[in-house]
Amino acid sequence: MAAESKLAPIRKGLLEFLVLKIVGAQSIYVPDILRQLAGTEFATQEGTLYPLLSKLRREDLVQYEWQESEAGPPRKYYRLTATGRAQLAALDDYWNLINRTIADFGH
Amino acid sequence: MQRIATTVRLNRSVLQFDDAAHARLERYLAESTSLLEGDPDPQEILADLEQAVADQCIRRLGPGQIVVTLAELAPALEEIGSVQAPGDGVAAPSATMSREPSPRLLQQFSEGAVISGVCLGLARYFRLDVTLLRVIAVLMLLGTGGAMVLVYLALMLLLPHAPLDPGGARVRWLPARCRAFMQYVRAKLGVDRPGKVAA
């Protein structure tokens, strides 16, 4: 499908936004982020998510803390920093804005 | 006696792999390492990936099974996927930093210019000190009895203007007037090259 080649970069660009949203809703570890994304257009893998989270952490948008788990090694739970929260709010606003703009055209 | 497994530490977990799985694992980690080249913090990502591999393999081990084989490792790696660098996402201002260097262009720079930015442009193009170039220009102006003015005017007309830095370039009054005037003249003469004279 020809449209697919245009949709893929859109999804890729929006993944970061979505991850910020998911992490913003609750303190969460990676397998649960993947489970939330699975079955959506944004289904992804650890090989993609870990580099992205590492980048977001360097940009001081997310931070993590270790939490013990009943089984296996401790887990990294991610949550937003104050900067991350501000950026998520800005992205959310912008997303609503462009959504309205797109909807307004072509009538 | 026969060695049947290699003990491997993956971040915080220790697991045993048979030879085929061990080779496959080493290949995956080497691939990931090379894909993360250029990432400022590859160690953290690799540690996370190692942990992901360990967790996935442990989940797939059958009851009483100690040694990880390809039967567990292959689907685990399939699920984890190969390393993807984060794309130029909507919230990735840092991504613009890694753009390829622009080719060296002969153009005039309004920002930091004294008159129109011709000397600045020539200095940047030839990688010379701009003050040196300005001194040479003034000396030539005096030496040629003013004819250098024509050369300067010709260069003002011919050299495209470098795009101004986004977010408020600081351009002094005279260079700003020169820039606006030359763009007006170019438009009138029809020598405006689209794309070169960006606002």
Residue in A16, A31, A50 closest to B89 by CB:
A16
Cβ within 8 Å, pair A17-B91: yes
Q: How far is CA B162 from CA B98, B106, B118, B197, in A?
A: 20, 9, 11, 7
Tell me whether 0.90 is exceeded by the ipTM.
no
What is the DSSP annotation of B40-79? Answer: S-HHHHHHHHHHHHHHHHHHHPPTT--EE-HHHHHHHHHH
Query: What's the confidence (pLDDT) of residue B192?
Result: 58
Q: What is the pLDDT of residues B163-177, one digit of tens each?
A: 776 555 678 888 888
Residue in A14, A31, A47 closest to B49 by CB:
A47
Q: How far is the alpha carbon of B56 from chain A, nearest alpha carbon, in Å?
A: 10
Looking at every residue in chain B, the average pLDDT score rounds to: 83
Alpha-carbon distance of A28 to A67, in angstroms, equals: 10
Give bridge partners of residue A6 from the DSSP assignment. Answer: none
Q: What is the CA radius of gyration of chain A?
A: 16
Residue in B12, B81, B87 closest to A46 by CB:
B81
Q: How far is the alpha carbon of A53 from chain B, nearest alpha carbon, in Å?
A: 9
Candidates A57, A4, A103, A18; CA nearest to B90 is A18
Give the nearest chain A residue to B36 (CA atoms).
A51
Establish, for the pair of chains A and B, how many residue pairs have beta carbons separated by less than 8 Å.
86
Within 13 Å and on the Cβ side, how many CA atoms surround A14? 13
Any A CB within 8 A of B88 CB: yes
Q: What is the pLDDT of residues A41-57, one digit of tens each?
A: 999 999 999 999 999 99
Cβ within 8 Å, pair B90-A48: no
Q: What is the pLDDT of residues B19-68, one digit of tens each?
A: 999 999 999 999 999 999 888 888 999 999 999 999 999 999 989 999 99
Candidates B179, B162, B182; CA nearest to B109 is B162
Cβ within 8 Å, pair B58-A76: no
Q: What is the pLDDT of residues B92-120, one digit of tens each?
A: 333 334 444 456 788 888 888 889 999 98
The token duo for B122 is 């020539």
Mutate to test the interface with A, among B29, B39, B90, B96 (most CBs of A within 10 A): B90
Kindly state the greatest CA–CA separation across chain A: 56
A-facing residues of B in 17-76 (CB < 8 A) are 32, 36, 39-41, 44-45, 48-49, 51-52, 54-55, 58
Q: How far is the alpha carbon of B196 from chain A, nearest alpha carbon, in Å?
A: 28
Q: How far is CA B45 from CA A48, B48, B52, B87, B169, in A?
A: 10, 5, 10, 16, 39
